[in-house]
Structure 1
Amino acid sequence: MAPGTGDAPTMEQLQDLLLESPGFTEFLLGLATVSASRLGGSEPMLCAITVERQGGPATVASSGEEARRMDEKQYAFDDGPCLTALREQHPVLVADLAADDRWEHYASAVSGQGIRSILAVPIATDSGSAAALNCYARSLETFDDATIAAVTEHAASISRILRLAMLVHPPEIYPEHLRTALKSRAVIDAAVSLIMAQNKCSRDEAMELLHLAARATDTRLHAIAGDIIAGAGLPG
């Protein structure tokens, strides 16, 4: 798939986006939307931008709901192609998500989303932070050499404005109990997705199964969910 043919946003346009955004999340949302518009060709590109800084919860902004769900699932597992690109600072290509065994549980959890391939490229930032541009496609032919080059070039082109945005918008300070609550919710959500995929049931039914297992074993919901993500299966 050829990358988009529209003109790349100028630095002035990106600065306007930053100036008009009331907060860091809103800026990232605009940047992800611009990225999807710039990179999409005959098939729309789903894009998300993930930023980690100073040990706080990641800020994730997506061009659409599907991309957001794909990113959030990775944080529930604390692993995946986009997190690998962000933390190890090298591009990661998953040409066929269903056939890739590097992130088996993650692939199972998102199997119903219709995403076939993923490309994640790090975005250069200042020390103490890391970022990545995450691109999702419904086709196996999306990420050819030309598109990979275009995504890599685009990630480099938005690095400067992203670093400026992080200076303008300091990281929010999350109390430890809130960080724990956010992580716990993500883990439970990932376990529910796995139960849905394995049992071919609705989200409500999967949540009920999770609660039943917690009550039957007298185990906290978060602990049961963590075991399921680790591959233990649903008790009982």
Structure 2
Amino acid sequence: MDDRADVIRNLILRNPAGSGEKEGLLRQVCSTAAQELSASGAGISVMTEGGVRGATASSDPVSERLEELQFMFGEGPCIDAFGSRRPVLISDLGDVVASAGGRWPFYAPAAHAGGLRAVFAFPLQIGAARLGVLDVFRDRVGPLTNGELADALTFADVTVTALLDRQERTGDSGIDDIYDDAAEYRAELFQAQGMVMVQLGITLGEAMMRIRAYAYAEDRRLGDVTRDIVARRLRFDRDER
């Protein structure tokens, strides 16, 4: 690692939040990235190769909501960056909102209404392996400076290295645990889709759309809605279609 990478690594790991529970490290990355990159917030989604979220972390509640909206709508910078394996750099989200038929027709207006003005997404990857995405959020229009862009890329690299190092040290906490969560989340999501499909007599894809729409309308996390459906605390009735 070069000197700057060592500096960023030390900034992330110096806080006690970077140790202990498995998501503590990711939360500390988000908080440190937001501060060092002059951002209003940051979020991380750890994802499987199928694009399903396994665990998330954020620097603050607003960033958590901006991160969650992407999975409610099934679109956004995080999902694009993960799929393309390349950073997604949007210096003015208003331009995306204003473009007719542009990218993220649902996420962009919702995020913009929530105060987001610029977003920068960086894949967490090593070789062919993709672990997730680091999103950097700003409440003002404008690009990252060259130095900030370099630091953001370093944050992504350091995060991957820290997660792998953590797994090697502890043997039972790290990437494997996060991927276990991802598999469990995916199975639960598919079960919820199937239940709503039967309840409403619709296709599996339409069931997913209904679940996402409900989560957005009720301002709830998609994972919480999914768990309620599986636990039969929430049911979709045909007369609500």
TM-score, normalisation: structure 1: 0.66
Please, which of 89, 108, 111 is the counterpart of residue 85 of structure 2? 89
State the identity as a percent: 22
Q: Distance in 2 between matches of 1:175 and 1:58?
A: 6
Residue 48 of structure 1 and its aligned partner are, at CA, apart by 0.7
Classify the secondary structure of the residue corresponding to 1:155.
helix
Name the CA shift for 1:98/1:218 in 2 (closer, same or farther; >3 Å). same
1:116 aligns with 2:114: no
Q: Distance in 2 between matches of 1:16 and 1:126?
A: 29
Name the CA shift for 1:188/1:13 in 2 (closer, same or farther; >3 Å). closer
Q: Which moved more, 1:68-77 or 1:8-17?
A: 8-17
Equivalent residue runs for 1:185-204 within 5 Å: 185-190=211-216
Deviation by residue 1:60-92 (Cα, 9 ceiling, x = unmatched): 100011111111110111111111112221010
Q: Distance in 2 between matches of 1:177 and 1:143?
A: 38
Aligned pairs, number: 190
The equivalent of 2:106 in structure 1 is 105
The equivalent of 1:208 in structure 2 is none
Residue 149 of structure 1 and its aligned partner are, at CA, apart by 2.3
CA-atom RMSD, angstroms?
3.4
| Contact 1:15-1:161 within 8 A present in 2 as well | no
Q: Distance in 1 between matches of 2:14 and 2:127?
A: 18
The equivalent of 2:25 in structure 1 is 27
Residue 58 of structure 1 and its aligned partner are, at CA, apart by 2.8
Contiguous gaps of at least 5 residues in structure 2: 97-101, 194-207, 220-235
Name the CA shift for 1:176/1:122 in 2 (closer, same or farther; >3 Å). closer
Aligned AA for 1:47?
A
Please, which of 29, 49, 53 is the counterpart of residue 48 of structure 2? 53
Q: Distance in 2 between matches of 1:192 and 1:70?
A: 15
The equivalent of 1:131 in structure 2 is 132
Aligned AA for 1:111?
H
Name the CA shift for 1:103/1:176 in 2 (closer, same or farther; >3 Å). closer
TM-score, normalisation: structure 2: 0.65
Residue 94 of structure 1 and its aligned partner are, at CA, apart by 1.2
Deviation by residue 1:131-156 (Cα, 9 ceiling, x = unmatched): 11100101112523332222122222
Contiguous gaps of at least 5 residues in structure 1: 194-213, 221-236
Aligned AA for 2:13?
L
